[in-house]
Structure 1
Amino acid sequence: MAAHVEASAPGKVILFGEHSVVYGKPAVAAAVALRTSSQLTSPAPDGTPTLTVELPDIGVTRTWPLERLQVFLASDDAGVLADAPLPLASPPRPEPALVDALTASLLEDGDHAAIAAFLYLYIGILRRADGTVPSGKVRAASQLPIGAGLGSSAAFSACLAAAAMRASPQAAAELQWGDETSGEAAPAPATLDAINAWAFCAEVVIHGTPSGIDNTVSTFGAAVRYEAAVSSPVALPSLSLLLVDTRVPRSTKTLVAGVRAKRDTFPDVMDPVLDAMGALADSAVGVLSALAHSPASDDAVSELGELVETNQALLAAIGVSHPALATVMTTAARHGFPAKLTGAGGGGCAIILLPPGCDAAVEDALVAELESMVFYNNEHVKVIRTSIGTPGVTLRLCPTL
């Protein structure tokens, strides 16, 4: 009997605390109403002994004969995957040597690391006790812009981990999956913990040393306060925002390294700024809680806007803003809206907070002005009207095809 599982997970925006979270300070992140979806069918629908992954957003389809996967798993390079299926609740963190071996043995030149992450998840979760890997076909597509600091890789990792676990007979029997009789369902909390652990491992394959905040938000949704790998839920009102993609490419690794170099050179200057970012994130938790209980509070709305603008000033002070982002901030301020970068900075995306009851005509004028801008490669700025605080991983199971 074939299993067909559909899963989805949201992207994220960091509201407060990007970069300072790397140094153990708290950050606040929220799920954004843009999702990545995956469909997993096993055995393969065409009956062939193959594993196929389709990633239309990056224009990639890859197919492996199962025999090729078995040869890799029998080699000395298989690392922890040689012991797959791996523990559902506590998968081992992938070692760099395993990532390198997956890449060298099973990927093509130029393939995105997401393909290696997919293989880690599929083999690690679905390999049978007799050592064989089931055939299958997986497709993943996203509403999220890729590489813009919105957690696209974490959403990919979380929804694939969820789909693979739901398709696993072992996981289906051992974990709780919620009420699936009425369509999409959110897995039980302990199951979400396991999905999050696997999604983090996939993020390790892709990024090397992720903070864990992206996969946590993609898995659990809503909003979280995150500090030193410990997350806690944050009360969040219904908040709308504009997501502004400047189209300016940037390297998270380079930006993080730049902040570290500046901190190493000027610790007495940088540490107080990073401390201020952490304090600001905790202040924001209090303001968001007040807004959740009293959405019409003008004082709380004003305070939230001040914190947004202050966080942007601190991010600029540590050197991670960009002229394109500065133009977005200035334009938003001229229309009366607070704004900040989200993610690593250096380009990428900004968020503009839309207070409850804001004037639609003013919002439309701001969007039109932003979309007329061009910062890179003749590509116009893209503005997405969205909201935050949406659900995390959801699943739909069709036992037969």
Structure 2
Amino acid sequence: MHTIDCIVSAPGKAILHGEHAVVHGKVALAVSLNLRTFLKLQATSTSEVCINLPNINTFMSWDASALQQLLQDKTTNHRNLKELDSELVGRLRKLTGIEEGSTDASSMAVFAFLYMYLSIFAKSKALPSLTVTVWSELPTGAGLGSSAAYCASVAAALLSTQGALSSPLGPDGDTASWSGEELELINQWAFQGERIIHGNPSGVDNAVSTWGGILRYQSGKITPLQRVPTLRILLTNTRVPRSTKTLVAGVKDKINKFPSILNPVLESVDAVASTCEQTLMEMAKGSPTAEHYATLEELIDINQHHLNVMGVGHPSLDALCRVTLTRGLHSKLTGAGGGGCGITLLRPDTDSSVVQNTIQDLKDSGYECWETSIGVPGIQLHSPKSVKEEVMNVFNSY
């Protein structure tokens, strides 16, 4: 097998509308976030498999022939994408010492990599020697799809090396993506990685990282929206930790206690997501107008009030909304709430001084803040010259 060097990247994700209501069968709009995870795969002659994850101070290597022994049962279909190979999972747990239920980011990233590596190359005569280095702009544990971006990047790089994907990057090209069929294969493998890390994920995060843009999610059905506009936002991390599981349970309890009050709220959130979808489709058909942006801002405000009614607000998020509103900007939480992250819509004509002053205000409040965009492309293949200098410096140091 000829191992092909490659560089890929995948975006993170945010929820535009529909948090918590989606758990109860309503529509959610998930959007790709232009904070990306970058991966470089290099062929080596060391007979080793190495993974470097400098963001989380993780550096591991294994002898390829020793890993080959984990593929003992040649009759097992290690490339079955319907479910995880429980026998391989067990062998990897024994090799790594990672216990079931572990939530350690480093351990689970390594576990997911090894599972995909062994499964994708299971039918090869010999496992390839390679070094994978991953560097991400996404904070971990913030509900921004960092693990899905990682899994999509690993899947695309390994599948490219295995020969399952084409080489869409021309000799003079900077950035390219794959066909719809190839993206579906990447997405399926990324979902396997997400299963390793999270146990029972919805599949939304890896779909966003793979396809990009904006996805409509309802009752397990994922539908990419066509030709959606890219929107400028501020992304703010309040740095307040929260438990998604606890927050979801709290909303369920409130619905059970006050069904006549909360069920209409869920219906209203569903209507907000649908109205936002219609507005975005209108914007994609022609030139977006000030009225379109005014509608998006109103929907943001309405949904934030809904989320507070559900009990998933937090003083840190209230402060975020107040700070940005003083600058004429509209914000809402994204994800589980109870702290975590929020998004602030920026109109195309928002003055740069307003943006910079708002960012400074938020940093003065103790928050992290990035100016970025949503609705961006999904997994991509890059030439070295198209990758940011900061990222290449990291890659070149390994």
Please list, as runs of the form range in 1=range in 2, the aligned pairs for 1:303-382 lying within 5 A after superposition.
Answer: 303-374=295-366, 381-382=367-368
Corresponding residue of 2:372: 386
- Residues of 2 paired with 1:163 and 1:203: CA distance? 16
Counterparts of 2:256 and 2:36, CA distance in 1:
38
Aligned residues: percent identity? 38
8 Å CA contact 2:16–2:30 kept in 1: the answer is yes
2:93 equivalent to 1:103: yes
1:100 CA drift (Å): 5.9
For 1:58, which of 51, 56, 59 is the aligned residue? 56
Deviations 1:39-64, CA, capped at 9 Å, x for gaps: 1234xx2x233221111111001112
Distance 2:19 2:90 in 1: 29
For the pair 1:213 / 2:204, whether they are aligned, the reply is yes
Q: In 2, distance between residues paired with 1:272 and 1:82?
A: 53
The offset of 1:347, in angstroms, is 1.5
Aligned with residue 164 of structure 1, among 153, 158, 161? 158
Secondary structure of 1:83 counterpart: coil
Kept after mapping to 1: 8 A contact 2:177/2:379: yes
Deviation at 1:277, TM superposition (A): 1.6
Give the superposition deviation at 1:96.
Answer: 7.1
| CA deviation after TM superposition for structure 1 residue 92, in Å | 2.7
Q: How many angstroms does 1:148 deviate by?
A: 1.2
Which residue does the alignment assign to 1:233?
225
Residue by residue over 1:259-291, the C-alpha shift from the partner in whole angstroms, topping out at 9 and shown as x without a partner, is 334334444443332222222111100111222
Q: Equivalents in 1 of 2:295, 2:75: separation in Å?
A: 53
Name the counterpart of 1:72.
70
* Secondary structure of residue in 2 paired with 1:178: coil
Distance 1:258 1:83 in 2: 42
* Residue 299 (structure 1) aligned to one of 291, 295, 318: 291
What letter matches 1:117 in structure 2? A
Structure 2 match to 1:144: 138
1:114 aligns with 2:109: yes
Mind listing any 5+ residue stretches in structure 2 that lack a counterpart? 385-398
| C-alpha distance in structure 2 between counterparts of 1:260 and 1:139, whole Å | 41
1:150-201, CA deviations, whole angstroms, 9 ceiling, x for partnerless residues? 11111111111111111103x14xxx44343323310111100111111111
Segment of structure 1 superposing worse, 99-108 or 253-262: 99-108
2:215 to 218, 221, 224: 224
Gaps of 5+ in 1: 76-80, 375-380
Normalization by structure 2: what TM-score?
0.87
1:99: how far off? 4.6
Contact 1:14 1:342 (8 Å CA) reproduced: yes
Tell me the secondary structure at the aligned position of residue 128 of structure 1. coil
Distance 2:221 2:75 in 1: 28
CA deviation profile, 1:287-329 (whole Å, cap 9, x unmatched): 1122233444222211110111111111122222211111101
Residue 377 of structure 1 is matched in structure 2 by none
In structure 1, the residue matched to 2:389 is: none
Query: Which deviates more, 21-30 or 208-217?
Result: 21-30
Q: For residue 114 of structure 1, report the CA deviation from its aligned partner.
A: 1.8
RMSD: 2.4
Q: Deviations over 1:211-235 (max 9, x none)?
A: 2111111101122222223213144
Change (3 A) 1:397 1:237: closer
Q: Partner residue of 2:247?
A: 255
Q: Which moved more, 1:214-223 or 1:111-120?
A: 111-120
SS of the equivalent of 1:3 reads coil
State how far apart, in whole Å, the 1-side matches of 2:294 and 2:238 are.
Answer: 26
Correspondence for 2:387 = none
Deviation at 1:20, TM superposition (A): 1.9
Residue 178 (structure 2) pairs with residue 187 (structure 1): yes
Matched, 1:154 2:148: yes
- TM-score normalised by the chain length of structure 1: 0.86
For 2:341 and 2:82, locate their aligned partners in 1 and report how far apart those are by CA, in whole Å. 33
**Partner residue in 2 for 1:378:** none
Does the C-alpha gap of structure 1 residues 290 and 257 become closer, same or farther in structure 2, counting only changes over 3 Å? same
CA contact (8 A) 1:107 1:116 kept: no
Aligned to 1:198: 189
> In the alignment, what sits opposite 1:35?
36
> How far is 1:396 from its partner?
4.1
Which residue matches 2:83?
A: 93
Q: What residue in structure 1 maps to residue 393 of structure 2?
A: none
- Contact 1:177 1:188 (C-alpha < 8 Å) held by counterparts: no
Change (3 A) 1:367 1:179: closer
Letter of the structure 1 residue corresponding to residue 181 of structure 2: A
| Alpha-carbon distance in structure 2 between the residues aligned to 1:145 and 1:294 | 35
- Cα distance in 2 for partners of 1:68, 1:253 equals 38
The amino acid across from 1:354 in the alignment is L
Counterparts of 1:101 and 1:265, CA distance in 2: 45
* 1:178 aligned residue: 168
Query: Is the alpha carbon distance of 1:297 and 1:276 closer, same or farther for their aligned partners in structure 2, counting shifts above 3 Å?
Result: same
Distance 1:99 1:261 in 2: 35
